[in-house]
Structure 1
């Protein structure tokens, strides 16, 4: 961000950060100037941007295993991430989600924090092992937790996007084969049926799965995520069963909670070629095939991309008659998670290898900051899929090595990141893409999977030793933007 932009941000954000013990004062703690002065940064949306409209939903996202903790309380069963993170060498520093952000006990204060920031939407996930026992019967204590949480959100007027599966598969199902076992797809449909019956009327939008690419490839293809298996053949079969689970769940969601929206969330990646050579251009295409079309083609075209087997020959999954019709049932929305691009070249055979560009801005994760990739993917999807449903950006954000200094967290890189990515969304909308909302990842720092607690994605800082929450400058900017938008409407 240019020095002049940083100066403007600092000028209207001079109020003290707010900790958990004073959450009712979150809104008041933002500087008076930030509550009344128009956002004058050149990266802010133009005056006529759809992002200023109240109908464009702005919120934040979390996931159950990453924030809840309380893994052994009130009948919750073990999940694959409990097992994986307890395995030496799998997670950085040996971290686990056993306590995480202790959200299970602090949820009321966390919702007050969400409200204090003025966020309009909240995307959360349900922990499957918290709400069902091994026989598939409901666990009332676990269900009551989500019932109370959603009732509070509804009371406060927060739009709720609820994800059924954000990677915490019950361990007893993994012991029977997990997503390699077709039966898991039917057990997921049972779970979706139960949740949509129990929580009908409390949820504005249901997402069946979060990022099936990560579940299939990182969990079963290269072993970097739970359950830690590494075989391309496993990845393609796991993906098919994940997508089948989605397709089987949608009719139950529609029958039990007809007023809600139904969709799925995919993480997508922009692939760029390292040169104009045909082989490198082909490599970039293949990157996007395995990262995007692998999921979106069966959902929106009813077929897997043929190019996928060029990358992983001999890995074709077992697909039964009617599966792809089930998978490709119409969606009310498509959730898109975007973080970075991958620059590639041909590997000299039938695939690609990454060529990281030099001299580019990167996040704590080492990911390149590349807002144009989000715009390019959105416009590309509109061109590729004639039945593309309305889109919500269900995750977008960055990790930084944030520390609290004098009661403040000055995460100016994140503010710049968010401004530029919102600008990319604005450009996509102006190009005709139907994008209806944007959820920051994430509301607060949390358990970042295989990276444990080192990588901080939140707009709220969490001191894991004390569970103290501290509002970051980025959260103040989000709040100021929403207040200014409300004043304009």
Structure 2
């Protein structure tokens, strides 16, 4: 039987835009998603989980069900409605009250500063392709570090830089909806890493109590076959999705192999990236001071060589078997292995999480500790008069927790696991049909109902034994 450490965090994860709702309350500024969703006309971010009003209920449930940590993001546009300028007192008060309630309920807040929601004014001005917006982000981060220093110990600069960048500039599923612009993908990722480094350096200069890190979406890429062509394709896709960001985070520079692959991808797609020596100097200064790495992991990918044009179909409806992901000059994601997958075509392969943690330990030995900051299963839960039997989610969580426990046994310093998500939330391009939470939400009434997985998670948190 596998057992988790005494000081292990059993957490639940949320994000401001996906949980708070109340997008027009409290003098909150608009974000690009507001306009993007209005123009698409498919989903609304209101009411989401109404966390803006319901957070006392959710934190009480957290305490009752053994959840002793919560990932929360601060909505940048609640603090600075236009991204900079005069801070908004109503937004500041909301987060003070929220963090106070966290501590009242013995739930440690892990606070993310950017979770896909750049203020619209800045987003229209190039988002992180515009270097001036790096400075606006760092100023916003510094304000939060100072304002909430007595309430927040754990800080996260960015959530999932790679998914943000490809959503915006590769798949077109995030605003501004641009497709197949690899130059913008790499430039956006690089510039956000510059913003991370600058914010981290500011945090350390303040000598605040606490720790700071970053959350990367890290999903292992495997070759579809043992052919050299498939191995090369998997390596190229890994550099795009994982190695480019990990090098910047922990090495403080991009390795020769990384840049060789980046330049190959850009050449195949007529793109370019601007990396300044001053940027690399910041990376070199910051790379030693990351207190932790957050890993978001949902699936792994099996990559086959591909020599055609870019071709992506995003399965946003849960119609299993409709996903297509082919990248020019890189490779093609395959889905025909004997591996179970969710309705959204995400492969259920917990071995990939184990392999990624071991990789961090071996390839980036200056890492200090890891939190699994997101892991979970999107599922079409059956309400059944308030009895929500989500056994497939339990099976998913259990198998991935076993990978965490095995990694700890093999010397990886993993200090916690945050289930995505604490409660059902609004799911970006997937709307409300895709549920992840321990607690089922009736989005019409905002009533909460513990699922079968919530009771299982409670026992796990109490015993730390994976049964």
Give the TM-score of the pair, scaled to structure 1.
0.86
Q: Which has the larger radius of gyration?
A: 1
Q: Deviations over 1:105-130 (max 9, x none)?
A: 11111111111112111111000001
For 1:36-435, what aligned pairs fall within 5 Å after superposition?
Answer: 45-46=1-2, 49=3, 51=4, 53-88=5-40, 94-134=42-82, 135-230=84-179, 231-256=181-206, 258-304=208-254, 305-306=258-259, 307-313=261-267, 314-328=270-284, 329=286, 330-348=289-307, 350-435=329-414
Asked if 1 retains the 8 angstrom alpha-carbon contact of 2:296 and 2:372, the reply is: yes
Q: Deviations over 1:79-107 (max 9, x none)?
A: 01112111226xxxx11212111111111
Deviation at 1:343, TM superposition (A): 1.0
Q: Deviations over 1:207-248 (max 9, x none)?
A: 000000011121123311123223211111111211111111
- Measured in 2, the distance between the counterparts of 1:214 and 1:360 equals 23
- Measured in 1, the distance between the counterparts of 2:6 and 2:142 equals 32
2:297 alignment partner, SS class: strand
Asked if 2 retains the 8 angstrom alpha-carbon contact of 1:333 and 1:390, the reply is: yes
Deviating 4+ runs (over 6 angstroms)? none
- Measured in 2, the distance between the counterparts of 1:389 and 1:220 equals 32
Deviation at 1:348, TM superposition (A): 4.0
Aligned residue for 2:319? Answer: none
1:340 alignment partner, SS class: coil
Which region of structure 1 is more displaced relative to structure 2, 59-68 or 101-110? 101-110
Q: Which structure 2 segments of 5+ residues have no match?
A: 309-328
Asked if 2 retains the 8 angstrom alpha-carbon contact of 1:221 and 1:233, the reply is: no
- Measured in 2, the distance between the counterparts of 1:227 and 1:252 equals 30
Deviation at 1:133, TM superposition (A): 3.4
Change (3 A) 1:300 1:485: closer
Asked if 1 retains the 8 angstrom alpha-carbon contact of 2:423 and 2:437, the reply is: yes
Aligned residue for 2:312? Answer: none
Aligned residue for 2:317? Answer: none
Deviation at 1:204, TM superposition (A): 2.0
Q: Deviations over 1:36-70 (max 9, x none)?
A: xxxxxxxxx52xx3x1x221111110000001011
Deviation at 1:360, TM superposition (A): 2.5
- Measured in 2, the distance between the counterparts of 1:273 and 1:233 equals 25
Q: Deviations over 1:405-446 (max 9, x none)?
A: 132100000111111100001111112111111100000111
Asked if 2 retains the 8 angstrom alpha-carbon contact of 1:196 and 1:257, the reply is: no
Which region of structure 1 is more displaced relative to structure 2, 62-71 or 384-393? 384-393
1:196 alignment partner, SS class: helix
2:53 alignment partner, SS class: helix
- Measured in 2, the distance between the counterparts of 1:158 and 1:73 equals 26
- Measured in 2, the distance between the counterparts of 1:321 and 1:354 equals 34
1:157 alignment partner, SS class: coil
2:113 alignment partner, SS class: strand
Which region of structure 1 is more displaced relative to structure 2, 161-170 or 280-289? 280-289
Deviation at 1:176, TM superposition (A): 1.6
Q: Aligned residues, how many?
A: 434
Aligned residue for 1:19? Answer: none
Deviation at 1:448, TM superposition (A): 0.6
Match of 1:438 among 412, 417, 429: 417
Asked if 2 retains the 8 angstrom alpha-carbon contact of 1:59 and 1:119, the reply is: yes
2:40 alignment partner, SS class: coil
Deviation at 1:175, TM superposition (A): 1.9
Asked if 2 retains the 8 angstrom alpha-carbon contact of 1:161 and 1:203, the reply is: yes
Query: What RMSD in Å do the two structures reach over aligned CA positions?
Result: 1.6
Aligned residue for 2:314? Answer: none
Asked if 2 retains the 8 angstrom alpha-carbon contact of 1:211 and 1:266, the reply is: yes
Give the TM-score of the pair, scaled to structure 2.
0.90
Deviation at 1:252, TM superposition (A): 2.4
Asked if 2 retains the 8 angstrom alpha-carbon contact of 1:197 and 1:257, the reply is: no
Asked if 2 retains the 8 angstrom alpha-carbon contact of 1:69 and 1:101, the reply is: yes
Q: Which structure 1 segments of 5+ residues have no match?
A: 1-44
- Measured in 2, the distance between the counterparts of 1:322 and 1:221 equals 27
